């Protein structure tokens, strides 16, 4: 199954993330954990999070990009949930071999993410922090689904991204089924 960890501080104000989430949340075998709904006071239930992840074959991290990486609560979730002896280090094998799909959206488009653009670098330059977090825990890093320039995306382009997202998750669910 897929455990989809979703972090949007203001889901009601979200257009892109909501539409992406709507495209996948009703799939069989997808459990959505909306961190800002579950933990508005940042009091993460570590045992519950770990138990959810243990059931997963694929873990998804979906969020808007804030300051070039995950929002604060998702970073806090990394700090609190991905513990030594569970996620890494001696005896830390809980996540090993599971797949990880990263689904960040960005406001800026690919022109903004250039050396001369307002974000100074290609988005790829900001990937290592999240990718290595996954890899260090033994997760299998899938090609991220990066949805850029969401402020200016047409409804049609957003629907296409959402359909692509659903297809990616369906393929991962099918791969889980055939390997188990």
Of these, 12, 13, 26, 41, which contacts its own copies (CB under 8 A)?
Answer: 41
Q: How far is the CB of 65 from its own copies (least distance, A)?
A: 10
Residues touching its own copies, count (CB under 8 A): 30
Question: Three-state SS for 160?
Answer: helix
Q: How far is the CB of 176 from its own copies (least distance, A)?
A: 26
Cβ pair 138, 88 in contact under 8 A = yes
The residue count for the chain:
180
Q: Residue 88: which residues within 8 A CB-CB, separation 6 or more?
A: 82, 136, 137, 138
**What does the alpha-carbon distance between residue 99 and residue 176 come to, in Å, rounded to a whole number?**
10
Q: How far is the CB of 81 from its own copies (least distance, A)?
A: 11
Q: Residue 145: which residues within 8 A CB-CB, separation 6 or more?
A: 101, 102, 103, 161, 164, 165, 168
Record the tokens describing residue 155, joined without a space. Answer: 């409804």
Q: Does the footprint of its own copies cover residue 47 (CB under 8 A)?
A: no
Q: Which is nearer to its own copies, 112 or 157 (CB)?
A: 112
Q: Does the footprint of its own copies cover residue 102 (CB under 8 A)?
A: no
Considering only residues 120-139, where is the footprint of its own copies by CB under 8 A?
Answer: 120-121, 125-126, 128-129, 132-133, 135-136
Window contacting its own copies (CB under 8 A); options: 52-60, 65-73, 94-102, 155-163: 65-73
Q: Does the footprint of its own copies cover residue 75 (CB under 8 A)?
A: yes
Q: Packing angle between helix 72-81 and helix 46-55, nearest 10 degrees?
A: 80
Q: Which is nearer to its own copies, 107 or 166 (CB)?
A: 107
Window contacting its own copies (CB under 8 A); options: 19-27, 28-36, 53-61, 70-78: 70-78
Record the tokens describing residue 137, joined without a space. Answer: 């825990």
Q: How far is the CB of 41 from its own copies (least distance, A)?
A: 7
């Amino acid at each position: 199954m897929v455990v989809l960890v979703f972090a949007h501080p203001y889901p009601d104000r979200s257009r892109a993330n909501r539409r992406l989430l709507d495209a996948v949340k009703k799939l069989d075998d997808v459990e959505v954990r909306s961190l800002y709904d579950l933990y508005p006071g940042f009091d993460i239930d570590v045992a519950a999070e770990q138990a959810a992840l243990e059931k997963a074959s694929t873990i998804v991290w979906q969020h808007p990009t804030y300051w070039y990486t995950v929002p604060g609560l998702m970073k806090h979730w990394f700090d609190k949930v991905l513990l030594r002896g569970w996620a890494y280090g001696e005896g830390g094998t809980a996540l090993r071999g599971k797949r990880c799909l990263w689904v960040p959206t960005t406001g800026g488009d690919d022109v903004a993410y250039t050396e001369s653009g307002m974000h100074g670098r290609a988005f790829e330059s900001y990937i290592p922090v999240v990718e290595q977090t996954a890899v260090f825990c033994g997760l299998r890093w899938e090609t991220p689904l990066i949805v850029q320039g969401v402020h200016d995306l047409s409804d049609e382009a957003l629907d296409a991204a959402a359909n692509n997202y659903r297809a990616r998750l369906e393929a991962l669910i099918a791969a889980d089924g055939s390997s188990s």
